[in-house]
Amino acid sequence: MTQSSIQVEVIIEIPRGSFLKRGSTGQLDFISPLPCPFNYGSIPAFIGLEGDLLDAVVLGPRLPLGSKISVSAWGAIGVYDRGLYDDKLICSSSPITKRQQRLIVLFFRFYAKAKWLLNVFRGRRGRHACTGWGSVDAAIAKATPRTEMDWHGPTIPF
């Protein structure tokens, strides 16, 4: 079976290996005890369901903070954080293997548990879970296309 992909522009907010978790506005959210295993960023063309720019994971070598790259999105991971649903597009220059899919889902299941613990410490309630691998088309369909004037940062603190 051939995977289909969508070309997206991603801005890197967290380079692979970084301990600093920054949001789409560049503000430091927290310092992680573990390095980020992926390049993590956002897709400025779309706003996700939780009100922030649509998240993206970019596989491959470390990319500099602030890099803008055009890359293929091959799938999405669904995550609940404090009861808010959020898709994370999984991007790479080549198709994602089944093994990579399993490892990415495993990481985000661990991530959901870690975010639950962090939010307990912060006094923030709500569901934390990874819903698994999904289609990039479905994730894009749930997002809102962004115009330059309609977004000024997330509406809730992270």
Q: Give residue-wise pLDDT tens across range 132-152.
A: 999 999 999 999 998 866 666
CB 145 within 8 Å of CB 17: no
In 15-151, where do the E strands start and end?
A: 20-22, 28-31, 39-47, 53-58, 68-81, 84-92, 129-134, 144-145
Does the pLDDT of residue 2 top 60, yes or no?
Answer: no
Phi, psi (5° rounding) for residue 29? Answer: -85, -45
Q: Which pLDDT tens digit goes with each residue over 4-17?
A: 889 999 999 999 99
Range list of H helices, 81-143: 98-122, 136-142
Half-sphere exposure of 2 (CA within 13 A, CB side): 2
- Residue 144 tokens read as 């809102």
Domain made up of 6-145: CATH architecture: Alpha-Beta Complex (3.90)
Summarize pLDDT for 110-134 with one digit per residue, the tens. Answer: 988 888 887 788 888 888 889 999 9
